[in-house]
Amino acid sequence: MDRAYIGRPSRSPKEVPLRDPRVVKLAKTIVGYSCNVQPGEKVLLEAFDIPSDVVGIVVEEISAAGGVPLVHIRQNEVTRALLINAKEETWKAHGAADLALMKEAQAYIALRGSNNVAEISDVPNGPMQWYQTHYMQPVHFKRRITNTKWCVLRWPTPSFAQQAGMSTRAFEDFYFEVCTMDYAKMAGAMKPLAERMQKTNTVRIKAPETDLTMSIKGIPAIPCTGDKNIPDGEVFTAPVKNSVNGKIRFNAPTIYTGSRFENVRLEFRNGKVINATSSDTKRLNEILDSDEGGRYLGEFAIGFHPLIKKPMLDILFDEKIMGSLHMALGNAYDIADNGNKSKIHWDMVLIQTPEAGGGEIWFDDQCIRRNGRFIVPELECLNPENLLGSPAPPKTAPFGSGGTGSKKKERATATRK
């Protein structure tokens, strides 16, 4: 099959449109399952560097469901130009305008592509803080996340394939397999973990250079089943704000606002990061010092997508890696609120499979996962062979392999989910 359609930004009017059935299936999943669009609902569709045909297919599915599509076409290069040149008043105006539109919408879909994952890496900290304060906070964190049905996903561009250390065609196949798997089945398998987390007081995390304890008592545990992000496959909560103590090393590289960080090491005392180092320690600490909440955790989550096995420096994929966990510095979500508020929300991933160094997660006095596999009977349904319904999961490149390796994937987006 000719895959030139995937990721192609435009075509001659004389060309016959190609409708890759995988794109149609994904669009149906987003509209019908993730956002459950109902007749008469307004759906804000934002497309960042996405092929026009793909946007058109999603518009068709919204319309077929009886929804009203409100389409915004955006470009990452234009966003960078705004960030570099705009004044604080510009982001106040953008925030007010898009907040009004978001209030009109009952659902929100974001299709995010990128031709250069480091597009905003040279934006100074000041403009980024204006953007976070006057745009991201009011439009997305305060309005969209808590008041709309929403789904955010990436698009398989050649740049994204390069991040993953894969050929473009191989990555397309991987992408659609991951994004169109049976999330309804996965949803049922998540329930025991969410219930167990809800009953847990103390969590202990052990891994190389890692020994961290925290309490999650009284904080809701939220299963993520494909109705907010695609791909999905995690259960998240938040630690009691002042309960985190110990140290942790995140072995997956991370990107924040276009800048890359490796081997982030954090030391906590009574909830606060008292020491932070990485491949760019200066920039890391500048971000953590953005505000008072930047040095406290706003999220703790366990990931288990059976087809995602290695980092590719895109948090929507990396935080779902089989055998991983992640934590977010900064703002807590309202649905799992520990009281921490911040302009930042920065997810960092620790992979505990044997290839990545192994590790354990303890709930109170019981080890529930060892070396990336759940070892208590009620949670074994989340191991990959059970989620996939086959004796062994499909083979993918191991941790740290691929053309660019475990530390060669980047993205440039100023928001998480």
The pLDDT tens digits of the residues spanning 67-78 come to 999 999 999 999
Q: Are residues 226 and 366 in the same domain?
A: yes
Domain match, 210 and 128 both:
no
Q: Is pTM beyond 0.95 here? A: no
For CA atoms 259, 7, 26, 64, the dihedral sign is positive
Strand, coil or helix: 54: helix
Rounded distance between C-alpha atoms, residue 259 and residue 34, angstroms: 30
In a shared domain, residues 252 and 341: yes
List all residues 6 or more positions away from 218 whose beta carbon is below 8 Å from its beta carbon: 240
pLDDT band per the 50, 70, 90 thresholds, residue 119: confident
Q: Helix (H, G, I), strand (E, B), or coil: what is residue 22?
A: helix
Together in a domain, 235 and 370 = yes
CB 305 within 8 A of CB 232: yes
Whether residue 101 is found in the same domain as residue 216: no
Residue 270 class from Cβ within 10 Å (0-12 exposed, 13-18 middle, 19+ buried)?
exposed
Count how many domains the chain has.
Answer: 2
To the nearest 10 degrees (0 to 180), the angle between helices 21-28 and 168-179 is 30
220 and 134 inside one domain: no
Domain that holds residue 203: 183-388
Does some domain include residue 302?
yes
Tell whether 369 is covered by a domain.
yes
* Of the residues 136, 155, 174, the one at which a domain ends: 155
Residue 15 in domain = no
Q: Measured between alpha carbons, how far is 69 from 48 in angstroms, rounded to an integer?
A: 16
Domain check: are 236 and 143 in the same one?
no
Q: 411 Cβ partners below 8 Å, 6+ apart?
A: 114, 117, 154, 160, 163, 255, 258, 313, 314, 315
**Per the domain annotation, does 411 fall within a domain?**
no
Token look-up 């992640």 returns 326
- Over residues 170-200, the pLDDT tens digits come to 999 999 999 998 898 899 999 999 999 999 9
pLDDT digits (tens, 9 = 90+) for 141-154: 899 998 999 999 99
pLDDT at 11 over 80: no
